[in-house]
Each structure stands twice: as structure tokens, then as C-alpha cells.
Amino acid sequence: MKRFVQFIAGAICPACKEKDTIAINPDDDEIYCVKCDYTEKRPIEKKASDIEEINVINLEDFKKNRDKN
């Protein structure tokens, strides 16, 4: 059985600068160029639960509290 190659439309290879030559290996999500030997692991998306919590300060509230003291 032939292996199906999935290309990323419009992608430009960072190594050889050819357009429409970047494909995805479905087994390990590695992207590679079919014209040169460029390979790269596909970025892993972070889940909302994996992202650190950021403390946000409203500057107007900060100024009001500062002015009261």
C-alpha cells in the first residue's frame, strides 16, 4: 500500500526556500522538505491548563490606592 504524503499548502522551506515542498510525517508529526534534507519537529500546542497563570493589575486601581495613602 502506498504511503499518503500530506503537504502544507503555501509553506516555504526555511533551508532551500522552495515553496510547497514541506510535508508532514503522520507517524511522529515531523515536518520535512521533499527537495532538501530539512526536518523539524512539529510544534506542540499548549493546553490552557498548561499555561501559567498571569497576575493582571489594573493600573487605574493601582493609582487610586496609591493616591489614598
- For the question of whether the overall pTM of this predicted structure is more than 0.95, the answer is no
Where along the chain do its domains lie? 1-43
Structurally, at CATH architecture level, domain 1-43 sits in Single Sheet (2.20)
**Predicted local confidence at residue 2, as pLDDT:** 63
Write out pLDDT tens, residues 13-68: 999 999 999 999 888 878 999 999 899 986 677 666 666 777 777 788 777 777 66
pLDDT given at position 64: 77
Distance CA 68, CA 54 (A): 26
